[in-house]
Each structure stands twice: as structure tokens, then as C-alpha cells.
Amino acid sequence: MKSLDDRRDAADTNDTNHSRSQGRFLIAFFLLTGLACILWAVGHYGNVGMSANLLLTLRWAALIAVCGYAWARRSLTAWIIAGMLIGAEIGYDWPGVASHLQILSKIFLRLIKTIVAPLIFSTLVVGIAGHSNLRQVGRMGIKAMVYFELVTTIALFIGLAAINISRAGVGVKQPPEAAPAHIATQHQKASDIILHAFPENIAKSVVENQVLQVVVFSIIFAIALALLADSRRRPMLQFCESLSEVMFKFTNIVMLFAPIGVCGAMAFTIANGGFGVLVNLLELLATLYAALFIFLGAVLLPVVLLARLPLRKFINAIAEPVSIAFATASSEAALPRAMESMEAFGVPRQIVAFVLPTGYSFNLDGSTLYLALSSIFVAQAAGIHMSLGQQLIMMLTLMLTSKGLAGVPRAMLVVLSGTVDSFHLPMWPVLILLGVDQLMDMARTATNVLGNCLATAVVARWEGELGKEEPSPTVMDAVAQ
């Protein structure tokens, strides 16, 4: 008994030491960053000669402190944040080197994309066929769709109100040589949207990362499996259970590369656009971020409280997938970790597997808000007045055309281009948006992931299943990284 107490005391002492180390590294980071900012301001605004090498040394010393904090915290999220900051610094200090680092983010995104289809297929099949409760699947589907449409409609009108108040597009001058660069457009009728949900070839759907089509195939496959006799169903069910566990382990391995991939993505972005990308479209960028914060505070936070979700625990659960989504501007990159985090939060796997991937097509809160804002920005920049009725018709069009698209970077830019073209608006304001699209894409993608994680928890609470099923040991090991 004494040896057990000794081990507990040693563990407590170790935790205390790590907490102290975290605090010291964090204080060092803020002090060094603050000092670097003050010296830069004095040199820039006070016309005082300031050594560039001194500022460079202070910035990198601050980044070393961030790495020390991440090491002491032993958290993947902390390392991802450190990767973002280091990437931004590399992009600023050595743009020539940073412009070649996009390969790191591309490797990370490719590895993530290999996970999505088998993970969705295996977890959905186990969730539906393993419980054989087909009524629950139908009930979840109805509840999820009601929630999705309600929340995305609110997001749409918040974006519409924000751009009409800020009028960020008014006064934008057309570039003298705004060449009609071609951006692929996408025209979708209602029948096209419905047809797009159904796969013609599951291998093609997997290759093209058509998440909704994989979900539809998996649901039908799972229902067919559930209708078989137990002797025929059991072997396939065991295979899918093993596959889902393997894919979660696969995710853990890939996520170890996340800080490096994030570092490469940020370095490339800053090297090509620089911090000056904020200048020309700062008002639009501020409008988007303000609208997203209003959406978070006025819509998603009340939903958390109404659903009686533990707020701090929920924030801890979504911190990592939201950070990944923000850094990579890809919802797809955050999907595997989001599924693990929500299962660890207490949402049963069958609900996570059904609601979260479906939300990637029908619950794009951040992207919907962005589309409302940017489409009216295009009209304002072109000097074209749109009546409230015309704006509402455009919003309805955007709601339909944004459905069924995979959560990949720049997908919404394609939707925006198609909508602008169909309403006979000029394309050159869309080309201007390209300058800050990465920064806008990061915010809207993070909001998408946050909204879908919340939707999963809300449906679980609605079903009375939240916290009733113990997460698998594999998932708990994954989120403990």
C-alpha cells in the first residue's frame, strides 16, 4: 500500500513540476513577444534605428518558449499552435524557403484524406448494423436535418445583415487590368443537388472525397447488413469493428505529423501573401470575423446552454479539431480527430458516425455565413444595387448550391463563383477576394467544424444518449495525446 501511495505522490509531484514549467514558458513567451512588439513600434513610429537581428532574435526566443510550453504541456493542440506560429515566422523571415514548404501541408492533407472514407464506412456500419435499431437512424436523420437547416439559415441572415451594415464592398476600385481569369463555376439545379447525394460508383466517390455519397452508401450497406441473419451479419460486423479501430490508430499516427503540416501551410501562406494581405480587404475580413463571433455568441453558445452541455468540457473536446481546421482551412483534415473527440466527450459512436459526416454537407455554418457576406460584397464592389428580394433569392440559391460539397479548401470559392455568374455579376471582385481567401477560409472552416461537433452533441442529448456509452480505450488513448 505504501508503494502505491509513493507512486501517487511521485505522479502528483511530476504534474506540479510540469504545471510550473508551463507557466514559466508561457510568461517567457508573452514577455519576449511584448518586448519585440514594443521595440518594433519604437523603431517604426519613432524613427529610431532598431537592429533587425535583435528583433529576429527576440521573435525566435519567444517561439522557443512556445515550444517549451508545448513540451511541458504534452498536448498535440499546443504543438499545433506552436507549428502555426513558427510557420508564420518562417514565412515572414525567409519567404524564399517558406514558398517550398507547402509540400508539408499537402502530405498531411493527403494522409488525412486516406482516413475519411474507411473511417466513415466502418463506424456507420457498426453503428447501424451493430444495434439493428433502424428506427433510431431515421429519427436521428430527421432531428439532424431540422437542426442543420435552422442553424444554417440563421448563419445566412447574420452574414447578410453584417455586410449590409458594414458595406465593405462599397468604394472598391476595379483593378485597371482585371483580366477575366477563369475560375471553375458550378451551376446546380435542385435535381442536380439530389442526384449528387447518390453514388454511381463507390470507388469514384472515395477517390473524389465525396463525403455525402460515402455516407449514403454506408447507410444503405449497414441497413442491408442489419437485415441479415446473425450468422451472416456477424463476420462483416467484426471486420468493420476492427477496421474502425485500425483507422482510429491510423489517425493517431497521422496526427503526430499535424504540427509539421500546419507549420508548412502557415509558412507558405505568409510567404506568398505576407501580413500585408490584411490591408486591402481589412474591412471585409473584420466584418467576417465579427459576424462569426456574433454567430458563436448569439447562436451556438445558447444552443450549448439549452442542450445542458458542460461548456468547459465541450471547449476542451473541440479545441484540437477546431485548431486543425483553422490552420489547414480544411474541414476534412479535422474530421477524424473530431470524431474521436466527440466520442470521448460522451457521444455514442453510432451518433458521431452518422451526424458528423452528414453535417459536412448540410451544416456548413461558417461557409454559409461567408457566402452570404461575400456575394453581397461582390455586388457592392461592382456598384450594383440589389433589392432585399433579390438578396433573399441569392441566399436561397447559395443554401442549395453549397450542399453536398466536400469539406476541402476553396470549395466555397467555387460555389461563390458559380452563384455570381448565374446572377450576372462581374467576376473581378471574386478575384480580389482570392488575396485574403486563405484567412477567411481558416475562420469559416473552424466554425464549420465547431458547429458540426455541437450538432453531434445536441442530437445525442436529444436522443437521451449523451454520456451513456463508454468510449473505447483506443479513442481515449487518442485524445490523451
**Per residue in 374-414, pLDDT tens?**
888 888 888 888 888 888 888 877 776 665 454 444 556 65
Closest CA to 269 of 404, 84, 425: 84
CA atoms of 266 and 105, how far apart (whole Å)? 9
What pLDDT is stored for residue 451 in this prediction?
A: 92
- Measured over the CA atoms of residue 182, residue 188, residue 193 and residue 199, the dihedral's sign is negative
- Using an 8 Å Cβ cutoff, are 281 and 433 in contact? yes
Report the distance separating Cα 122 and Cα 138, nearest Å.
19
Residue 152, all three cell numbers: 444554417
pTM above 0.85, yes or no: no
Residue pLDDT tens, the chain, 481 long: 445 455 555 555 555 666 777 888 888 888 988 888 888 888 877 777 777 888 888 889 999 998 888 888 877 778 888 888 898 889 888 888 888 888 887 888 778 778 778 877 887 787 777 665 567 667 777 888 888 888 888 998 998 899 889 887 777 665 444 444 444 445 556 676 678 778 888 888 888 767 668 878 888 898 888 888 888 888 998 998 898 888 878 877 887 888 888 888 778 867 776 654 444 467 888 888 899 999 999 999 999 999 899 999 999 889 888 988 887 777 777 888 888 888 889 888 888 888 887 787 678 888 889 888 888 888 888 888 888 888 888 887 777 666 545 444 455 665 676 677 667 787 777 766 765 666 787 888 899 999 999 999 999 898 888 877 776 676 666 556 5
Residue of 408, 84, 118, 104 lying closest to 257 (CA atoms): 104
For cell 435542385, the residue is 190
pLDDT value at residue 14: 58
At 337 the three-state DSSP class reads helix
Asked if 339 and 353 count as a contact pair (C-beta separation under 8 A), the reply is: yes
Length of the chain: 481
Q: What is the pLDDT of residue 99?
A: 82
Q: At what angle do helices 102-129 and 258-273 cross, to 10 degrees?
A: 130
